C-alpha cells in the first residue's frame, strides 16, 4: 500500500511558494489535503490548482496568529476527514534590518509569526497526530542554526523555532510522534507577485544597509532552491522519519564549525554573505 494513502495532511501558508509545493508533493504521493492561509482568494486559487491535479482538498482561510481560528482549523479537519496524520507549520516571514535598529516590537512581530503560530498549531494538532503516530514538520531556515547580518529579528525567531522543535522531539518522539525540522537556504519564488512583494518589503526594511541585504538570504552565496524539489525531499524525510533536513547539506559543516569555534564560524559567515 502507498504510505500516504488515506493519510490527511494539514499545511499552513499553503497558498503559494514552498507551502503550495509541499501540498502538491503530498497530493502526488496520495495524501488528502487541508490547506490554510490568511488570504482567501490566493488560497482558493491554490486549491483549484491542486484539484486540477487530482487532489482531494479542503481550503480553510485562517490567521494562525489567532488561537480561535487555529482551533477551528483543526476541528474542521477532523470533522471533514476524521483524522490528522501530518501538520506542516510552514507559515513564516523573513526580514531585513541591522540588529540595533530592530525594535522590541519588530522582535515581537517576528516571534508571533515564526514561533508562536507554530506553538498554537502544534498544541491544537498534537493529540490527533499522536493518535496517528504521525508527522510534525516545522519549516525553519539556515538562520535557525547560524545567524547572519542584516536580517532583523528573523534569526532570533528561527533559532527559537529550532529549540522548540528539538524539545518536542525529545518529549514526544518516545510517544510515537515524528518531529522534523527543515532548514533550507533561500527558496526560489515561482510567482512574480511573490517576488515583487518581497523585493518591495526588503527595500523598505533595508534602507541604509548594503545593497546585498535586499537579496535572498541577505546576500548569502548560495543558489536559490527549487521549491518543488525541496518539497519532495521533505516528503521523503517524513517517510524515513528523519529528524532534521538541512538543504544544502554542506551547510552542516558551517554549523559544526560555528559550534566548535565561534570566531571561525563568524569569519565564515562574513565570507559567505
Cis peptide before 185 (omega within 30 of 0): no
Helices (DSSP H) in the chain: which residue ranges? 17-28, 40-52, 67-81, 104-111, 117-132, 154-172, 192-205, 227-239, 251-260, 262-272
> How many residues comprise the chain?
273
Q: Do 115 and 130 contact (CB within 8 A), yes or no?
A: no
The catalytically annotated residue of 3, 154, 164, 202 is: 154
Report DSSP state, residue 226: P
Phi-psi sector, 77: left (phi>0), alpha (psi -120 to 50), beta: alpha
Looking only at the bridges linking them, the beta strands covering 32-37 and 135-139 are unpaired
How many angstroms separate the CA atoms of 82 and 255, rounded?
Answer: 41
Strand partners, 107: none
b vs e for 80-90, b when ≥16 Cβ sit within 10 Å of the residue's Cβ?
ebeebbbbbbb
| Residue 154 falls in the annotated catalytic set | yes
User: Which among 231, 201, 31 has a CA at the least distance from the CA of 137?
Assistant: 231
Active-site residue numbers? 154
Amino acid at each position: 500500500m502507498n504510505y500516504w494513502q488515506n493519510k490527511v495532511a494539514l499545511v499552513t501558508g499553503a497558498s503559494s511558494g514552498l507551502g503550495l509545493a509541499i501540498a502538491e508533493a503530498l497530493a502526488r504521493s496520495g495524501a488528502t489535503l487541508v490547506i490554510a492561509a490568511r488570504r482567501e482568494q490566493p488560497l482558493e486559487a491554490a486549491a483549484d490548482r491542486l484539484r486540477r491535479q487530482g487532489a482531494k482538498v479542503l481550503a480553510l482561510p485562517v490567521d494562525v496568529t489567532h488561537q480561535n481560528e487555529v482551533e477551528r482549523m483543526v476541528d474542521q479537519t477532523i470533522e471533514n476527514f476524521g483524522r490528522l496524520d501530518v501538520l506542516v507549520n510552514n507559515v513564516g516571514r523573513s526580514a531585513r534590518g541591522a540588529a540595533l535598529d530592530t525594535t522590541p516590537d519588530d522582535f515581537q512581530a517576528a516571534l508571533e509569526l515564526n514561533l508562536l503560530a507554530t506553538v498554537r498549531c502544534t498544541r491544537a494538532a498534537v493529540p490527533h497526530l499522536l493518535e496517528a503516530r504521525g508527522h510534525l514538520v516545522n519549516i525553519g531556515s539556515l538562520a535557525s542554526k547560524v545567524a547572519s547580518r542584516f536580517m532583523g529579528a528573523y534569526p532570533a525567531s528561527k533559532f527559537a523555532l529550532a529549540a522548540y522543535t528539538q524539545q518536542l522531539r525529545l518529549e514526544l518522539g518516545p510517544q510515537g510522534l515524528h518531529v522534523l525540522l527543515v532548514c533550507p537556504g533561500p527558496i526560489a519564488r515561482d510567482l512574480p507577485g511573490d517576488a515583487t512583494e518581497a523585493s518591495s518589503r526588503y527595500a523598505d526594511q533595508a534602507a541604509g544597509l548594503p545593497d546585498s541585504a535586499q537579496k535572498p538570504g541577505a546576500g548569502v552565496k548560495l543558489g536559490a532552491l527549487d521549491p518543488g524539489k525541496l518539497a519532495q525531499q521533505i516528503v521523503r524525510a517524513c517517510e524515513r522519519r528523519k529528524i532534521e533536513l538541512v538543504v544544502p547539506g554542506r551547510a552542516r559543516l558551517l554549523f559544526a564549525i560555528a559550534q566548535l569555534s565561534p570566531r571561525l564560524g563568524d569569519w565564515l559567515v562574513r565570507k559567505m554573505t
